[in-house]
Copies of this chain bind each other. A is one copy, B any other.
């Protein structure tokens, strides 16, 4: 079988760029044997051409001149690995306009500007491939778009941020404080020096925006997604939840609700310990998807890191070069914003169970007071836990779990409860997510 030469240009020679260069340079033979494509790294653009990297490029490949890549018409595929939204967007737009297909791992950019980028691609009869943008090593986008194409996806629950999962795992398994676990994640290279985007849930929301748009066939924007991070999680709450049978994960959730509406949210979630996602530890990612025909499927793997992400980028380069991405991309038929916006559920209407921790002053009548507040808001208690002994300011932590109720009821009840002088400090409220495990 004749091999087809495929010249690839790379913009951004950081960690992922280095991984992609390594795969293309070192595995060109095995990729050619498997796919018939001989990948050639024709041009690597980075503002820093001097820093040492653990891969040696052929002479003349590395440049700080983006125009060199842009003007080389033999380069049909441009890989944007710059990250961020401003420069990256211009780079992608220019590559598309210069007639190149684009491969990217940039979830922040897609979450914010997918629509504009997709339209530019379609206007230029080009495609954008973005498998590496979500859950790196897990081919989740391809699974949703092709493997599950015959399914109406009813729900997906994802652990899509390795940093947060590493932190929560350490807090759970090693009884570390949030700050200790964050420091450990930074030391291991799983968290950035500024971890805000990860721990705030923002990065998970970027990925959910991308996954939900293809799963539900809608133009999704970040503003459609309710986001709560893990910054305020204490190991006490993880322990109390654990005693009640739950494990805490930061989940990205996309659900079809009644009348074809959509609920999109990222928040710390208590799930039962025997759920498959509860067993995803450390920096790993996993996504459980429920399809109308297939039932439950789950994908598990590394969500980040040099080589897993590079693996997804190169898979996309191959898919683009084979022409498959162009076909799939041309059928990306997303319902436009004006139709989508009215379908998005507000968080206030969410029906969920809740874990609530109240710091009660140890005196007669306390329970009567706060339990009346709950009753007034029609919130029914499903479980309770109170250990003997004292917390700060002579208070006792009382933990309850609720039956399903609307978020707005809980919000209102908590607001009222805070005014009680028998309660110390802010009540803690964490959603309990009952993921429907599919059994025989």
Q: Which residues of A contact B (CB under 8 A)?
A: 1, 19, 23, 27, 30-31, 33-37, 131, 136-139, 142-143, 146-152, 166, 188, 190, 217, 276, 279, 281-284, 291-302, 307-308, 310-312, 314-315, 318-319, 322-324, 327-328, 330-331, 333, 438-440
* 8 Å CB contact of A137 from B37, B297, B327, B333: B297
In the assembled complex, the Cα of A310 lies from the Cα of B1 at a distance in Å of 33
* Contact between chains at B31 and A150 (CB < 8 Å): yes
Count the copies: 2
Task: Say how far A130's CB is from chain B's closest CB, in angstroms.
Answer: 13
Cα-based distance from A301 to B143 in the complex (angstroms): 12
> Complex formed: what's the CA distance from A33 to B7 in Å?
34
State whether B293 touches A308 (Cβ < 8 A).
yes
29 contacts between A and B (CB under 8 A): A1-B330, A1-B331, A27-B152, A27-B292, A31-B150, A36-B333, A131-B147, A137-B291, A137-B293, A146-B319, A147-B315, A149-B314, A149-B315, A150-B310, A151-B311, A276-B300, A279-B279, A282-B440, A283-B440, A291-B311, A293-B307, A293-B308, A293-B311, A294-B302, A295-B302, A296-B302, A297-B299, A322-B331, A324-B328
Residues of B contacting A319 in the complex (Cβ-Cβ under 8 angstroms): 146, 149
- Chain B residues with Cβ under 8 A from A311's Cβ? 148, 150-151, 291, 293-294
User: Closest B-chain residue to A20, C-beta based?
Assistant: B150
Closest to A298 in B: B300
The reply to whether B282 and A318 form a contact with Cβ atoms under 8 Å apart is: no
A303 to B279, CA, bound (A): 21
A384 CB to nearest chain B CB (Å):
30
Which of B131, B149, B166, B307 sits near A35, CB closer than 8 Å? B149
Name which residue of chain B comes closest to A147, CB basis: B139
Known: A33-B217, A281-B439. 10 other contacts (CB 8 A): A34-B217, A36-B330, A139-B142, A188-B440, A293-B307, A294-B311, A297-B301, A299-B300, A323-B323, A324-B328
Which residue of chain B is the closest to A332 with respect to CB atoms?
B34
Question: Do B333 and A322 touch across chains, with their CB atoms under 8 A apart?
Answer: no
**Chain B residues, Cβ within 8 Å of A293:** 19, 23, 137, 307-308, 310-311, 314
Contact at B295–A137, with CB atoms within 8 Å? yes
- B295→A308 contact, CB < 8 A: yes
Contact between B146 and A143, CB atoms less than 8 A apart: no
- Taking CB atoms, residues of chain B closer than 8 Å to A30 are 152
Known contacts A34-B331, A333-B36; is-contact A294 B137 (Cβ 8 Å): yes
Chain B minimum-CB-distance residue to A140: B147
